[in-house]
Amino acid sequence: MSDDGALARPGSWLRELARLKPAAWPWGLSIRSAFCVGTPFAVGIAADAVLTGMWVSLGTLMFAAGERSGPYRARFRQLAISAPIGATGYFAGYLAALPWPGTIAAISALAFLGGILSSYGAAFSVGAMQALLLASIAIGVPAIAPFWEPALLYLVGAVFYAAVLGVEALLRRRRPEREMTAGVVQALATLATACADRPDTDASGIEGFRRDVTDRLGGAYAALLDVRYRASGRDAGTDRMAAILQACDTLFARILSATDAEDLRLTADRLIGRAQHIAGGMGVVDDPDPRFHPRLAPAAPSLLQAVDALDVALRGDGGPPATGPVRSGGVRAALLLDRLAPGREAILSALALALCIAVAYATHLVNRENHWFWVPLTVGLIMKPDFGSVFARAVLRCAGTLGGVVIGAALIAVVPKGMPFVAAMMALAALLPWAMLRSYALQAVVLTPLVLLLVDIIIPGTADIDYAMQRLADTLVGAAIVLVFGFFIWPQTHVRELGQAFHAAMGAIAAYLRAAMAATSNGSDPAMDPDLARHRRAAYGHLADIRTRLQKSMAEPPPSGSEASAWFPLISAAERICDLITIYSTAAHGETGTAQDEALNGLVRLIAETPGGSAPETVAFPAGAADTPRAHLIAGVSAELAHMMRLSGPART
């Protein structure tokens, strides 16, 4: 059974909720996390300044938990944005001097602003979440005033973490970019092998390999664009990366359209070797095999020529120049205003966050325990806007905290406040990056005792099972607040959102088909057309985004999960239409025909309208024209559109 069918089975949301993701151990981040969290605390103990060391360690823990993979430049940028935003959370401690209703109103307003800020990007989202967490500690423990001191120490932690990250960047240099590029090339090799074994490969299997390529290419292009946007001119590294990715994109189109199994296997073998050399340092080895070199074998198939073009890009022999970003003040100001204007969904998410924070702080009216702030701290962690399903995070945090508080209470009771305490913190910090990749529940299992150990330095607990149970009860209260006030009472708009996203994706596919028609009619090689490549990436990228959104929805209970599963067959059909266009764009050269042109233009309109359009009409082809690439495209796309209309039934809106 295909993945789509498996996702649609009853109870799939429960399985999705409990699913552990496969993940390799992130050695670099793991070692850095342990070192950065443990070292300040160890220095504080040695210098008899435990509290000072704790504040710095708390900051480095926040940065380790918030770091994401990618080029080092992007990581430094995230740190530079999130650290100052997070540090401002300590100053919310001054709000505790207000009458408690005033404190609730003020922190709710700040939470709303934080929710809006989170919509501006991942770095702002991480910073806003850190500010909310630190605000809960500052308001819950006013004795830590003056609040500028922990805020300053938090920034000291940021500088320390950035310094350690800088050392790693000097040692590894462009390693993240190499790993990203090697992953793209390896995915292409896997796709080529699957296409060579088409009779023995399940159709859904080939779709899965193709999705892996498009996902990896999309991530690599996003990283490249992020670097280029901030560049102020040509940069040899980004030029080379752009050329490599363009060659990979051309190879992707060639592989999908190739029919010779031997060529595909030769390509796969060549790409596997290239991936290994890229991972080892972006180098390539000379390959004397004439099957791979157009210069030695002028009649070599285009697929193998595309592999040779990748080698040229890897050697840096040529490639498109890197164009700097637009610097016009008026244009930049207009773009900035467009980005700062929050959308409806961002405003609704911010309102939900503000309401949950208000209710969480209101619990202090009845909860007078000295660790009451664990409730708003839990709410802030679960309500992080861009981390997936709120429902799933609430359930998984409760499950993870159940184990985490037991571990934390045991460590507090058994481990003395000295170097053994530091060793325990470092061990947990080393586990955290891997746990975050595997499951949010595992992340909570590791992160909860870390936070408990650090917070216990500020307000020592009773170091018994009651202390652990109190923290678990606070977590359950926080999760209940999120589920009721952040999930169930709000109108579920996922159906409308999915409909809008799907229509946008079909519009991108229609534009892709229109670009393919233009590229194949001008006599040049369509696979090398940069405009066509841009439309191809946009179409596949839209569909990948929808799949990601659907995957998150699968972790929610019915009707959200079941509604999401109903969309997977439509997305698969849309992806097959993209594949048909890709195959056509590499196989057709200068094809013309009035009837076929009219049919293709009609398909463009139908794709943009689907679902909800009328069934495509059968096109009559002249004798001998039924086996042309254009005829295969029209027949295949028409069949997929008819299939999508049968699946959709009443038009989705």
DSSP string covering 387-447 = SS-HHHHHHHHHHHHHHHHHHHHHHHHHS-TTHHHHHHHHHHHHHHHHHHHH-HHHHHHHH
Query: Cα 233 to the chain's mean position, in Å?
Result: 28
Exposed/middle/buried for 338, CB within 10 Å: 0-12, 13-18, 19+? exposed
- Measured CA to CA, the distance from residue 384 to residue 386 in angstroms comes to 6
Contacts of 632-636 spanning 24+ positions with Cβ under 8 A: 632/580, 632/583, 632/584, 633/580, 633/581, 633/583, 633/584, 633/588, 633/600, 634/596, 634/599, 634/600, 634/603, 636/576, 636/577, 636/580
Please give the model's pTM, rounded to 2 decimal places: 0.70
pLDDT the model gives residue 65: 86
Q: What is the distance in angstroms between the CA of the first residue and the CA of the last residue of the chain? A: 29
The backbone torsions φ and ψ at residue 558, rounded to the nearest 5 degrees and listed phi first, read -60, 145
Query: Angle at Cα 497 formed by Cα 491 and Cα 502, nearest 5°?
Result: 155
CB 289 within 8 A of CB 296: no
Token digits of residue 238: 């980004």
Contact call for residues 77 and 100 (beta carbons, < 8 A): no
300 sits in which H/E element: none
Cβ atoms of 619 and 634 closer than 8 Å? yes
Nearest to 69 by CA among 393, 537, 548, 433: 433
Close Cβ partners of 337 (under 8 Å, ≥ 6 residues apart): none
- CA atoms within 13 Å, Cβ hemisphere of 332: 7
pLDDT recorded at residue 5 = 44
Residue 454 parent element (H or E)? helix 440-458
The burial of 529, by beta-carbon neighbours within 10 Å (0-12 exposed, 13-18 middle, 19 or more buried), is given as buried
Q: Which residues contact 481 (CB under 8 A, 6 or more apart)?
A: 356, 359, 360, 363, 375, 379
Nearest residue to 296 (alpha-carbon basis) of 283, 279, 311, 282: 311
Report the pLDDT value the prediction gives residue 218, as an integer from 0 to 100.
78
List, in order, residues 6 or more apart from 95 with CB less than 8 Å away.
Answer: 102, 103, 106, 107, 139
Distance, in Å, from the CA atom of 280 to the CA atom of 282, rounded to the nearest integer, reads 6
Backbone angles phi, psi at 71, to 5 degrees: -60, 150
Reading the block at residue 634, the tokens are 């029209």
What residues of the chain score a pLDDT lower than 50?
1-10, 229-234, 282-301, 318-337, 385, 387, 612-613, 619-624, 650-653
Q: Is the dihedral of CA 292, 297, 301, 302 positive or negative?
A: positive
Residue 381 is predicted with a pLDDT of 79
Question: What's the CA gap between 306 and 286, in Å, rounded?
Answer: 16
Is the Cα dihedral 540, 542, 545, 551 positive or negative?
negative
pLDDT (0 to 100) of residue 378: 86
Q: How high is the pLDDT of residue 297?
A: 39
DSSP state of 366: T
CB 111 within 8 A of CB 64: no
* Cβ atoms 193, 210 nearer than 8 A: no
Strands (E), 57-118: none
Is 4 in contact with 568 (CB distance < 8 Å)?
yes
**Selection from 638, 554, 634 nearest residue 593 by Cα:** 634
Q: Nearest-5° angle of CA 570, CA 576, CA 580? A: 145
Q: pLDDT value at position 162? A: 94
Distances (CA, A) of 323 to 227, 318, 350: 11, 15, 37
Using alpha carbons, select from 535, 553, 538, 567 the residue that is nearest to residue 644: 567
Whole-number pLDDT of residue 107: 95
The whole-angstrom separation of Cα 580 and Cα 603 is 13
DSSP type of residue 590 = S
**What pLDDT is stored for residue 486 in this prediction?**
82
Separation between Cα atoms, residue 178 and residue 588, nearest integer Å: 34
